[in-house]
Structure 1
Amino acid sequence: MTLFRSRVGRFLIASLITVVSYTVFTGPSFAADIYIAPDGNDRNPGSRERPLATLEAARNKVRGMRGAVTVFLRKGTYMLSKPLVFGPEDSRSDGQTLTFKSYPGEKVTISGAAVVAVKWQEYKGNVKKAAITGDYIFDQLFIAKKKLHMARYPNFDPAASHFGGYSADVLSAAKINSWKKPEGAFIHAMHKHEWGDYHYRVTGKSTDTTLALEGGYQNNRQMGMHDKYRFIENVLEELDAPDEWYYDAGSRTLYAYAPDAPVVLTPQIRHLFEFRGSAEKPVRNIHIEGLELTHTLRTFMETREPLLRSDWAIYRGGAVILEGTENCAIRKCHFNATGGNGVFFSNYNRGGEVSGCHFDETGASAVCFVGDPAAVRSPSFEYNQSVPYDRMDKTPGPKTTNYPAQCRVYDNLMHGLGRVEKQIAGVEISMSMDITVSHNTIYNIPRAGINVSEGTWGGHVIEFNDVFDTVLETGDHGSFNSWGRDRFWHPVREKMDSLAAAHPELILLDAGKAIIIRNNRFRCDHGWDIDLDDGSSNYHIYNNLCLNGGLKLREGFQRVVENNIMVNNSFHPHVWFAQSGDVFRKNIVTKPYAPIRVNEWGKEVDYNLFPDEQALEKARQSGTDAHSLAGDPMFEDAAKGDYRVKPGSPALKIGFVNFPMDQFGVVSPELKSLAAHVPSPVIKNVADGKTASETAWLGGKLRNVSGLGDRSAYGLPDEKGVVVEAAPENSILARAGMKPGDVIRVLNHRDIANVTELMDVFQEINWMGEGEVAFFRNQAMQKLKVSFK
């Protein structure tokens, strides 16, 4: 009996081992690693010895497998003719993550380009041509790893301040007349006020000296092209410089200046990876790791969707697009010369992550979070739009769950962004909630490093980032920028004042959760270090080192700014609301405050450290800073970037607390070794205390436009004009229709740069007592026929 039981036991154990072995090693739920290689075969099993050839085959094979699966890509370049799409059928249960990653120690490139063989023939001088067989998109051209330039005017100049070269005569009659066949060319231009950019496709000639254009929808504040900052590309007659090229689609002929390779690469697709799910059926637990992603099409002509009332329009796509996902991640990837955005989180996403990545030379933004406008209650889509109070949905928060939330962007290096589009950011956040942006290094970009487009719906944490060399090709912006043109917003300030006063409950209907900005280092030499513009509300800003541009709070509510350091600059409060609830305390400023049209100074402005007694006294004349002090903050070692204050500093007496100076930016050793370092500012003698002088005129007061603060406050394209400081009710100035805050730019068809020019022109019309004035009011140019009698 015992022997029988032993034999039965051994038989059962052996049977069990056989069953387990079949399940683990041969069954359909086998959870081993999968391999693919450029020289693999999709009929192979996907083992290390017999790898698959394509990512698509690996994705399909994994669908029948349980457990955590890693798809290893062996070294080489994988050319995709269409994006790899993950749908709900690819979702993985918690603990059974699917990861596509490079094999350890091997470089893997995912390219959206086609390899085109070319046989060069002589054409003219250094320019050669090649007949192209097959249907290809020629949007960008790469020879080896070098990206060439479309034939352009003016020629590319890396030292140029805008677009790599610009010229005011791009649309001159003479230039247009010199082009025989400009169809398919592109005009790229800055916004007239430098608030981003515009792009147009040339569809032909209207006359010999005018072009027919389509486009110009890429900016949500329509004001037209800049007069100077513009260029044209994709014109055969402009093929006159090394590394330029042109493709004639009609004759299928490729032209290039001194090409030196038998093959070229030309991108064919906009996206490399697509995650396509929904809130009801999400794509879950899929990761992309350790890949170089490159060669995607430019998308500037697809950038047309307005982002509520911000200045932005957007294209919902990128080298990687995620829509309808949960717990999906992009890690340790190199986004190299992508034509548009890097990573785009569209609509419903939860628990998404971008970490350890390097974004370099992207056409647009690095990482975008953009929700569904249908999730916004009573949305408006342009600066001048508003929803009447009696038709407004007054329920707080979002209407649906179709937006990104609980996502993070951590330890990423972002630089050389916006090589095509200029209304971009390192990280863009719109119609999202609870996004964490932490330990990123962002620099060398045309606009903001981090941008929050509106107050919907807050909860973001912006911390330990290193952001510098920003706003390089645009204006009136900051290293961090935000808008808050939410439900309470109205383009006419007087109406918005009365609406907010009568219905303060509207203020935080959208910005319901505080946005935290802490422990960052910002430096902007062409704007503000921190710029809270147009209605930005519900912020807590503390422990930030601002190295040049200072901090601006334009009209908004419920902002607490404390324990920050502003080197070579100060606090810029602009056009505040009554009862704003704003707090500015325990900060170190190194210049006098620079207020513009602030009549009521919020909840508390006190316990701050000023550079000298004159700056402090000037603040106290406005009724602030009763307990503030003045004096040398006694920085530990400013030359080496250590702005902690020493024992005995007067800053400690007003409650300032030191915070770490060595935790900004990326943390991974590899990215640290690649990142540039923020330039240390030279501490300036900033105790000037000077303001623009005032001039009495027609019973009111005028002053010259002065500095970037005025340009931002009044929405000006430059720093020219005359500000109406006061226009009492019975004054001639008021009877003429002028109001405080108007900025006079033109009088009787003569441009007005300053008070002196205004007086000179006025003398010419004084005897008639009437004329025409053009001026900015509510950030828009207006005209009046006026009487000065």
Structure 2
Amino acid sequence: MPELFVAPDGDDSASGTLEQPFATLDRARRAARDLTGEIVVRLRAGTHLLAAPLELTEADSGRDGHRVVYEPFGHGTPGQEDVVVSGGRTISGWQERDGVWSAEVGDLDTRQLHVDGRRAERAGIEGLPGEVTITETGYTTDSTAPLDWPSPADVEFVHRGVYPWTEARIGVASVSRDGTGQTVITMVQPAFGRALDLYNSTWEGQTSRGPGLPTRVENDAAFLTEPGTFVLDRSRPGNHVLRYLPRPGEHPDRTRVVAPVLETLVRVNGARDVTFRGLTFADATWLRPSGPDGFLHYHGSGFYVGGPVSTVAFGEGASVTVPGETETIPACVTLVEVSGVRIEECRFTRLGATGLGVTGGTDVTVRGCDFDTLAAGGVVVSGGRAVLVEDNLVRRTGLDYPGSPGIALTDTDGCTVAHNHVTDVPHCGIVAGSGRGTRILRNRTAGTMAALADGGGVYLAGPQGDSSDAGAVIRGNVIEDTRTPYNFGLYADYGASWVTIEENVVARADSTAILHVYPPLEHVVYRGNFWDADPVGADAPPAGVVYEGNTTLAGEAELAAATAHLRSRAGLRTPRGVAAS
């Protein structure tokens, strides 16, 4: 079996043997093209820094029934080495003044920072000071505080709850004083103009237009008051300054500070029969939200980039404006139109967008991986066929873009999400948009919907097939602690059709489920489920819903005893670091 070796202290002019390893993954990728049979690229311990994304194409496929495998040295043995594939840059040259560290970082641009492996938050304040009014170009306030922002064009407004399921981000262009003594905050375009077009709603007789007032204001040196926070000052092009307020005990000579630089770590496009296993993918960012387009979130992993919008009514006197088209938050590791690719036992962490994205392709397996400390979601599958997402732990995701689901499927065919554990996420745990033949089986979700509203531990929307055989099956899942008000633990929504929902357990949600939605549910069966409260509408199910054989047990101990057989079969096959309830 041909073997190639890569080490952080290797040499790309070497032979790639154990004794003379290559220095880069890309050199090993090119060398693998000249080999035949089962090819294994073994990575030695340490951090493998990428100067550019690792790109695999069809030419990097396994051949003649064999695979190309990328794994740590000693994989599967007690001596397996720890390997990190990183798109980060270590920050040095710190100067300390008045307790704040600063470093000149050239043209470095990033939205995240990690200190000794811990995520540092961007410095910010809650809300905009003063008596604030929204205008066609931004805001006015009677407070003079914004005039003291050292770098106003680096400031970003966060708008949580524009819609209950939405959080937007829009940058400031400038701050000035007008002739009346008001402070004028001009927002970046086209983002702010698009926000005025997109975010319009009517609810209970109240009409709103635009993103509203910011709930948080971030990224200015004036906000550096909380230890463990940072700002990036880009006011001098090519001479950016990173500032960090250290936590007690941190010292610039002993503390490792890493700024993610690359936006993509690995991109596999059109390749077949490739395996990545046992690797950690870390330290990537996503810069688009810092630009003139901002981040105009709509729902899930989707955001608005301009174009037509329309108004959708969902009851008498209630409506929202929705985008005709959205784009999807990108992933830091991306599989595009691949076949037979396996991602196994890997960790995705400290990433500024989604962890893993699968677009198109077929026969993809994501198994036994950990996803944590992510700005967006864990796994997003769009348009894939026969994708298996199994036995993964997804937690602490959506840290910058909280509408992002832990695991999401859209326009897929024959895909299965099974035995995963999704916990500590700000919105939905597992989401399935329109698709065919989806299976969501024996997963656990806990601590979902921690920040935004109108979602659930498991959420489905749109048609799921054209018959019961081709439809979606949601079976054997345990959904607990769906946290914010206005949620439905197990949520079939927005015209979901051809769905069988059976033998699930739902406890400690605002509402367990809802049977009356708009557009209405069609060919949806709720059978053999256990809840601690009746779903909304269970007393009078609509015509498109069959509701039979379900059990409501309000007592926690009684519900736990009655569902022990279901709980024992749900969640991770290989538990690691989470407790089963």
Q: Answer yes or no: same fold by TM over 0.5.
A: yes
Does the 8 Å contact 2:3/2:40 carry over to 1?
A: yes
The aligned amino acid for 1:587 is N
**2:544 corresponds to 1:589:** no
* Aligned-partner SS, 1:59: helix
- Give the TM-score normalised by structure 2: 0.81
Q: Distance in 1 between matches of 2:39 and 2:420?
A: 29
1:642 is matched with 561
2:404 to 407, 424, 435: 424
**2:430 corresponds to 1:473:** no
1:146 to 118, 131, 134: 118
2:328 to 315, 318, 321: 315
Q: Distance in 1 between matches of 2:404 and 2:566?
A: 30
Does the 8 Å contact 1:556/1:576 carry over to 2?
A: no
* Aligned-partner SS, 1:275: strand
Q: Distance in 2 between matches of 1:113 and 1:153?
A: 27
Does the 8 Å contact 1:190/1:226 carry over to 2?
A: no
Q: Distance in 2 between matches of 1:556 and 1:48?
A: 60
Distance 1:363 1:141, change over 3 A: same
Q: What is the deviation of 1:660?
A: 3.2
**2:356 corresponds to 1:343:** yes
Q: What is the deviation of 1:443?
A: 0.9
Q: What is the deviation of 1:468?
A: 1.4
2:61 to 85, 91, 96: 91
**2:11 corresponds to 1:41:** yes
1:5 is matched with none
Q: What is the deviation of 1:76?
A: 0.3
Distance 1:74 1:576, change over 3 A: farther
Q: Distance in 2 between matches of 1:149 and 1:558?
A: 45
* Aligned-partner SS, 1:193: coil
**2:199 corresponds to 1:222:** yes
Distance 1:535 1:428, change over 3 A: same
The aligned amino acid for 1:468 is A
Q: Distance in 2 between matches of 1:294 and 1:130?
A: 22
Distance 1:190 1:300, change over 3 A: farther
2:205 is matched with none
Equivalence map 1:149-168=2 (5 Å): 149-154=121-126
Deviations 1:677-717 (A, max 9, x none): 44xxxxxxxxxxxxxxxxxxxxxxxxxxxxxxxxxxxxxxx
**2:418 corresponds to 1:438:** yes
Q: What is the deviation of 1:220?
A: 11
Q: Distance in 1 between matches of 2:345 and 2:261?
A: 24
Distance 1:51 1:240, change over 3 A: same
Gaps of 5+ in 2: 75-79, 133-138, 178-182, 201-208, 297-301, 313-321
Q: What is the deviation of 1:229?
A: 6.8
**2:376 corresponds to 1:364:** yes
**2:525 corresponds to 1:563:** no
The aligned amino acid for 1:285 is D
1:110 to 74, 81, 85: 85
Distance 1:547 1:121, change over 3 A: closer
1:177 is matched with 147
Q: Distance in 1 between matches of 2:64 and 2:562?
A: 45
Higher strand share: 2
Deviations 1:624-678 (A, max 9, x none): xxxxxxxx9xx9x648x3324xxxxxxxxxxxxx95330111111xxx1301444
Q: Distance in 2 between matches of 1:212 and 1:86?
A: 40
**2:281 corresponds to 1:293:** yes
**2:500 corresponds to 1:540:** yes
Deviations 1:536-587 (A, max 9, x none): 11101111111133222221100111111112x112239999752x211111
Q: What is the deviation of 1:141?
A: 2.3
How many pairs align? 511
Q: Distance in 2 between matches of 1:577 and 1:83?
A: 52
Q: What is the deviation of 1:429?
A: 1.1
Distance 1:247 1:92, change over 3 A: same
Q: Distance in 1 between matches of 2:195 and 2:264?
A: 20
1:552 to 514, 523, 529: 514
* Aligned-partner SS, 1:546: strand
Q: What is the deviation of 1:121?
A: 4.2
2:252 to 232, 250, 261: 261
Does the 8 Å contact 2:465/2:471 carry over to 1?
A: no
Q: Distance in 1 between matches of 2:347 and 2:71?
A: 12
Q: Which has the higher contact order (CA 8 A, sep 6+)?
A: 2
Does the 8 Å contact 1:528/1:548 carry over to 2?
A: no
1:483 to 461, 464, 474: 461
Distance 1:540 1:341, change over 3 A: same
Q: What is the deviation of 1:97?
A: 0.5
**2:100 corresponds to 1:127:** yes
Q: Distance in 2 between matches of 1:257 and 1:508?
A: 53
Q: Distance in 1 between matches of 2:197 and 2:443?
A: 28
Distance 1:460 1:508, change over 3 A: closer
Q: Distance in 2 between matches of 1:350 and 1:287?
A: 14
Deviations 1:475-513 (A, max 9, x none): 1221111221x6xxxxxxxxxxxxxxxxxxxx9669993
The aligned amino acid for 1:275 is V
Equivalence map 1:398-417=2 (5 Å): 403-417=383-397
Deviations 1:32-74 (A, max 9, x none): 1111111111122111111111100000000111111111101
Distance 1:53 1:82, change over 3 A: same
Distance 1:71 1:664, change over 3 A: same
* Aligned-partner SS, 2:169: strand
Q: Distance in 2 between matches of 1:417 and 1:247?
A: 23
Q: What is the deviation of 1:138?
A: 3.5
Does the 8 Å contact 1:299/1:340 carry over to 2?
A: no
Q: Distance in 2 between matches of 1:419 and 1:317?
A: 15
2:470 is matched with 513
Q: Distance in 1 between matches of 2:455 and 2:538?
A: 14
Q: Distance in 2 between matches of 1:588 and 1:575?
A: 13
Aligned-residue RMSD, C-alpha: 3.1
Q: Distance in 2 between matches of 1:345 and 1:575?
A: 41
Deviations 1:345-371 (A, max 9, x none): 12x21011111011111100100012x
1:661 is matched with 567
* Aligned-partner SS, 2:366: strand
Identical-pair percentage:
21
* Aligned-partner SS, 1:232: strand
